[in-house]
Structure 1
Amino acid sequence: MKRDIKHIKTVSEFLKTFGLEEPNNPFISILHPLAILKSKSLLEHDYILDFYTITLKDNTCSHFLGKKKFNFEEGELAFTKPNQVLNISSIDQLNTSKGWVLLFHSDLLKSTPLFNKLSDYRFFDYSINQGISLSTNEQKRVTECVNFLKNEIMLTFDKHSSVVISSILEVMLNLCNRFFERQFDKKAIEDNYIVSKIDAFLKLYYENNLFSEKGVPEVNQIATYVNLSPNYLSNILKKETGKNTKDYINYFILEKSKSLLLNKQDYSISELAFKLGFNYPHYFSRFFKSKTGKTPLEYRKQEY
């Protein structure tokens, strides 16, 4: 039986869906895994989240966000990034879980250096269907970061909050990177997973100024790059991310435009539009507003 897919755009919406209290900070929340499941009916759906999740799950933890069910013998960390198709699995043993779930939206970080580094943390890749195994000491270290974050997000949000939270989160992610590189061969992951290759293609295409020189890449170009037919490629992306190839390209452009709008170089809207492959600025403005509900100028002026 085909499962319904629910699209959840914000951390606040996620907590509301699962019958939890509004977060003190709307962009980030830390939950006990047992708090997530309020209704068995929630297991009947898959989910697409527009934010990142990190889950620490030990062998007694009963609920878990992920692509597949995991076999946790000790403790493991697992990661999801925006636009993956996820499910919440449930097992027995409900009483002694020591895990946690961290949810955070990239908008929290967009005025910080970490915003542009998130794509460099390969453990967020959708294709890694295995968690990172942690020793007891490693679990303790990463949980200390989470507790530090928890204390910070309990405070009133002020102009320093994003920077402080970003700094703590970056330390945590760098620890995860150490654990990840110890366990996985990064090159093998990048060589074997289609979405990783597409992400790398789009990033390189942008860095080489090909958006401005040649326009937005065509679906056929990307299909050729990953050695798949266009239809088969779209089927894979639809299954794994909820988007076809064209939608996935547009998602990359949208996230890059958000970053550029807040860049200290202060690109004009026209410069930014051409940089992202739009022949006319008003086409870019129309695209951006259709995706965010705001014009590029409105997005640039908003304060967090």
Structure 2
Amino acid sequence: MKKTSAVPHIINSIAEYHSIVGLPGPEHPLISVIGLTCNPDLPQLPDDKLIYNFYSIFLKKNIDAIGYGRKYYDFSNGVMGFSMPRQVFTLDRNADYSKITGWMLLIHPDFIRKYPLASRIDTYGFFSYNLNEALHLSEKEEAMVDRIMLDIRNEYQQSIDGFSQDVIVSHIEVLLNYSNRFYNRQFITRSNSEEEPLVRFEQLTRKIFQQDHVQQIPSVNEIAEQLNVSAHYISDMLRSLTGMSAQQHIHNLLIEKAKEILLTTNLSINETAYRLGFEYPQYFNRLFKNKTGTTPAAFRKATVNNLN
């Protein structure tokens, strides 16, 4: 059995990818739509670990849903996934790729470099989601993605003119915006699950702030890792469900705990800041005022006076 390579194999160009998987050269050097029905040979790639130096968006059908984290309330049709340049992939050599159909869209960064999309594309958080956070499409959604993929391929297969690239980039933006919408729908359909991330996120964050001394204010990455989800995924889901990012949730829970300490202990403002994990008390004062409109000292004094 082939051993997993310690050093990832880097695929720099779309032409190189085509060559490795045995496809004819791409019709455009910077963008390609590959029909997965004619690309069943991913296991023939040279190493188990790969790095693509281009964006990839795939729609896979007839795939093992368990490997892509489908829940019982998700749709069972196509699965979409996204990757950005320099991400590392690990291939499963034992997986059955023979029944997979669908599309893979490869986009070299140079193709969009002169467009506003170049500076915005990495803000689409789903490019950093884990494999088990893939997007599960309804039949209608799958048909829409199929149509956009075909439109992109048909456009670069025509005679290239001064508008071809503009049109293709517009199609890519439509695809990304629809993907945002579809993920928002998936967040909503999952929101009533017993594993609802907001509940687990808050429970874990509250537990950290219940310590007698917080060593360091928890980061979104640290909490996401303990929840076994990606930081972008949990933040996007929380923003979709509550209108606030994961970082905002952490800050709100921190301020809630700060108020409790200020009103139930005799700790000084500086001691309160250190207990909550702030290295510099002025940062605590700044965050508290930003969130509440008043300083910790003024909050404590005003609340105590009102109670008296």
Structure exhibiting the larger radius of gyration computed from Cα positions:
2
The yes-or-no answer on 1:51 pairing with 2:80 is: no
* C-alpha distance in structure 2 between counterparts of 1:173 and 1:101, whole Å: 14
Offset, 1:17: 1.4
Q: Distance in 2 between matches of 1:39 and 1:91?
A: 10
Quick check: 1:160 aligned with 2:163?
A: yes
Note closer, same or farther for the CA distance 1:133–1:57 as it changes in structure 2 (3 Å cut).
same
Q: Identify the residue that residue 220 of structure 2 maps to in structure 1.
A: 191
Is 1:139 the counterpart of 2:142? The answer is yes
**Cα distance in 1 between the residues matched to 2:129 and 2:80:** 14
Report the CA distance between 1:136 and its aligned residue.
0.3
1:80 aligns with 2:78: no
Equivalence for 2:115 = 112
* Matches of 2:106 and 2:26, distance apart in 1: 11
User: Normalising by structure 1, what TM-score?
Assistant: 0.55
Question: Among residues 172, 176, 182, which one is paired with 1:173 in the alignment?
Answer: 176
Q: Quick check: 1:51–1:106 contact (8 Å CA) kept in 2? A: yes
Matched residue SS, 1:99: strand
Q: Is the aligned partner of 1:92 residue 2:124?
A: no
Is the alpha carbon distance of 1:43 and 1:126 closer, same or farther for their aligned partners in structure 2, counting shifts above 3 Å?
farther
CA RMSD of aligned residues (A): 3.4
Letter in 1 for 2:154: N
Structure-2 separation of matches of 1:152 and 1:88: 31
In the alignment, residue 24 of structure 2 is paired with which amino acid?
E
**Change in CA separation of 1:21 and 1:112 when aligned onto 2, cut-off 3 Å:** same
Aligned 8 A contact 2:4 2:47 in 1: no
Instruction: Name the amino acid aligned to 1:6.
Output: H
CA distance in 1, matches of 2:122, 2:163: 24
- Contact 1:84–1:126, Cα closer than 8 Å, also in 2: no
Residues 1-304 of structure 1 mapped to structure 2, 5 A cutoff: 1-3=3-5, 4-38=7-41, 40-42=43-45, 44-58=47-61, 60-61=62-63, 69-70=67-68, 73-89=76-92, 91-92=95-96, 94-95=98-99, 97-127=100-130, 129-184=132-187, 191-192=220-221
Q: Distance in 1 between matches of 2:184 and 2:148?
A: 19
Partner of 1:86, secondary structure, is strand
Tell me the distance in 1 between the aligned counterparts of 2:115 and 2:16. Answer: 24
What amino acid is the match of 2:125? Answer: R
- CA deviation string 1:224-244 (max 9, x = no partner): xxx9xxxxxxxxxxxxxxxxx
Instruction: Give per-residue Cα distances to partners, 1:94-117, cap 9 Å, x unaligned.
Output: 35x441111111210112221111
Residue 43 of structure 1: CA displacement?
7.0
Describe the SS at the equivalent of 1:23. coil
User: Identity across aligned pairs (percent)?
Assistant: 29
Residue-by-residue CA offset, 1:15-68 (whole Å, 9 max, x unaligned): 11111111111111111224334474427421100111111112x248x9xxx9
Q: 1:135 to 1:126 in 2, by over 3 A?
A: closer
Note the alpha carbon deviations across 1:242-292, whole angstroms, 9 max, x for none: xxxxxxxxxxxxxxxxxxxxxxxxxxxxxxxxxxxxxxxxxxxxxxxxxxx
Structure 1 residues not aligned, in runs of 5+? 201-226, 228-304
Q: Normalization by structure 2: what TM-score?
A: 0.54
Tell me if the contact between 2:41 and 2:97 (Cα under 8 Å) persists in the aligned partners: no
Q: 1:41 to 1:147 in 2, by over 3 A?
A: closer
Q: CA deviation at 1:128?
A: 5.5
- Measured in 2, the distance between the counterparts of 1:84 and 1:39 equals 17
How many matched pairs? 193
Residue 71 to residue 169, structure 1, CA distance change in 2 (3 Å): same
SS at match of 2:82: strand
Q: Deviations over 1:126-184 (max 9, x none)?
A: 54632111100000011111111110011233332221111111011100010112224
Structure 2 segments unaligned to the other structure (5+ residues): 71-75, 189-196, 202-218, 236-276, 278-308
Q: Is the 8 A contact 1:45 1:87 kept in 2?
A: yes
